Amino acid sequence: MKEQESEWIYLGVDVGGTKVQASVVRESGDILARQRHKTPRNDSPESELAAIESVIEDVLSDAKKRISDIQALGIAIPGVVVPKEGRIVVTPNMNLSGIGIGEHLRQRFGVPVAVGNDCNLGALGECWLGAARNATSAFAILVGTGIGGGFVRRGKLWRGARKAASEIGHIVMEIGGPTCACGNRGCLEALASRTAIERDIRQAVSAGQSSVVTELTGGNLDAIRSRILRKSLKRGDGLVTQVMRRAAEVLGHACLTVRHLIDPEIIVLGGGVVEACGRFVLPIVQEIVDADRLPGARPGGGVVASALGDDAVVLGAVALARSSAGRSPFGNQLCNV
């Protein structure tokens, strides 16, 4: 079928520490093509930018589209950004700090570019087409290498007075606990991210505990991927079950804090760890939230798993691009406030 000339098409990009993912997306949210490339490790800003540009070119050719077919491009960055200027303030796990990525891509491709934080955009994506699509307000928590979040109310992201709101990964859950990547101690991220889970498993194994993880990773415990965790849980591994239970409990208490602080209609849990091990994690989290004893904390809402998985952030980037082109899927003028 020949596409109507008036069809609006967007490009969404999710820049991550391990992979850069891009999709060509219709205004409806239908994904026409997906591409993912590995992020160059510990490389120069130039080569990281080149990786972003090449995934954009590849996804366009996959979708059989030209850049001139694209109305706007939305890009999600794992770090602090100034959306209005399209500038990256800091990316802790990449070398893109200080880069004016919006202007760079606009000059390179000649399309309008909207820039946002990855977890904020994950929340936006879930509100547009995912687990929170019918909710008035939603808080999303993404658990992967780190832990990030986003709060959306009536199609608008809440970014805070200093544009650093929803940093749920850095609420302190254990005073004096393990040192976090941010420099503080005992953060949620230092206790329940995949990095924290890996660390606890490694420490226990080197202290002599046995685990199927040793066999599943071929003895290389440097990087224990989420699917290894899932396989270990499936095989009933004692150590992984114990470590994951503890991480899920901490996450459950963080959800309880979100509820007490913001009381969103729904809390969405996503990210690689939840995607791989959600069946194990979700019931533990839900049990803790349900056991809330605070007077006046009425039941309802609850905690749900992401419905978009890997696509959440890319679709959120497209929602942002749509919003900046004056066609917000939520009917608001701007998703970013």
Site residues (vs Zn ion, CB under 5 A): 170, 180, 182, 184, 187
CB of 174 to Zn ion, least distance (A): 11
φ, ψ dihedrals at 24, nearest 5°? -100, 125
Helix (H, G, I), strand (E, B) or coil at 37: strand
Cβ closest to Zn ion, residue 87 vs residue 170? 170
Cβ closest to Zn ion, residue 29 vs residue 186? 186
Cβ closest to Zn ion, residue 50 vs residue 90? 90
Around Cβ 133, how many Cβ atoms within 10 Å?
Answer: 14
d(CA 266, CA 255): 10
CB of 186 to Zn ion, least distance (A): 8
CB of 196 to Zn ion, least distance (A): 11
Cβ closest to Zn ion, residue 101 vs residue 180? 180
User: Among residues 194, 253, 261, 196, which one has the least CA distance to residue 229?
Assistant: 194
Crossing angle (nearest 10°) for helices 194-206 and 272-290: 90
For residue 73 the two structure tokens come to 């491009």
CB of 180 to Zn ion, least distance (A): 3
CB of 184 to Zn ion, least distance (A): 5
Cβ closest to Zn ion, residue 180 vs residue 320? 180
Crossing angle (nearest 10°) for helices 238-261 and 194-206: 150
Q: Are the C-beta atoms of 110 and 34 separated by less than 8 Å?
A: no
